[in-house]
Structure 1
Amino acid sequence: MIVKFLVPFLENTQAFWAEFSKHFADNNRNEKYRLKWNNLKQTKLVQEYIKDFQQYLVVLNYSDSILCDKFYNGLKKEIKDMMLSTMFNWCNSSAQQVYDKAEEINNHLEAYKSTTPLHSTSHSSSTSSSTARANSSNSTPNFNSSLAPCTRLSIGNPVYMIDPTT
């Protein structure tokens, strides 16, 4: 004998979604997003920070001025410093303008870093080589003290030629 039971939420679309949400929806999503949004800081590229910022912002209804303040406060110091040096007035700008300016500055900084890959290590290597030269000159007489130490090239190392016509 087969007993048929009526399942009311299968007969009505609204009832189905209400029952579905009761079992599978995240009831604390707004509070979770608010906590994540409040603790959000830029740790990677500006694009990723904007993506996370806007993802959590979807369910929160904050004013544009609050968004500007929160976004600016979460940026890395170097981005904030560049905004100040370009005299960008983030206080009187929309949130979208602040996002765009931060992204533009980040792109410039990334482009600069990619053109000078030895920028961060050149200071430490020159300091160590000058220290080594100073130590060697103190211990033994150095007849070629004005010449820089030679480095041996290996196969595959980039070699640059100075234009002979100049």
Structure 2
Amino acid sequence: MNKILNLLLPRFLTEEVALHDNGDHLVIVCPMTEVKPGERFHAVATMRVFNLFGRTLLPRMVSGPWPWPSIPDIEPSELPPCPFCEGPPSITVQSFELRGPVYRQAFYGCAGVDIDAYVFCHACGAQGPQYENVIFHEVDYLSAEVEAARLWIERSAKHRDLYDGSAADGLTIYPRRGNRA
């Protein structure tokens, strides 16, 4: 459908592009939609062009260039098992707009994708706290996974002080001696 529109409908297009530094200046490599996960370039810019019968005319940089988003060094952390069934945890990133999972990719469009990232138990389906954000690049996706993992790890110790206080008062033992008939 886009090929037909490109041939028949003259129009302005705006998209982000990957740029390569050849020593003298930055050169457009490809649109960000065609960058594969793990590929790295020198910069990103937003270009506006006039498309006439599939030909690009009047290219103009609207914003940028910005340095290529770098993937931070992420310290590995072990996810604790499910607090209910001791099942294995699994991280997922979902989008209600797309009605399903969001997969890791280099670019998610100029408008981004509204996501919920969380850890769930693969055995019983228990779900940890959600991390909500709009992601634009692969770096944002990885940050969402890290934040979901952090929330899962912290959720198990979140109210530990309340449990310890109840245990010290003997309120976690059942049946309680005072409750017997």
Instruction: Place the TM-score, normalised by the shorter chain, in its bin.
Output: under 0.3
- TM-score, scaled relative to structure 1: 0.26
Report which of the two has the higher share of strand.
2
Structure showing greater Rg: 1
Report which of the two has the higher share of helix.
1
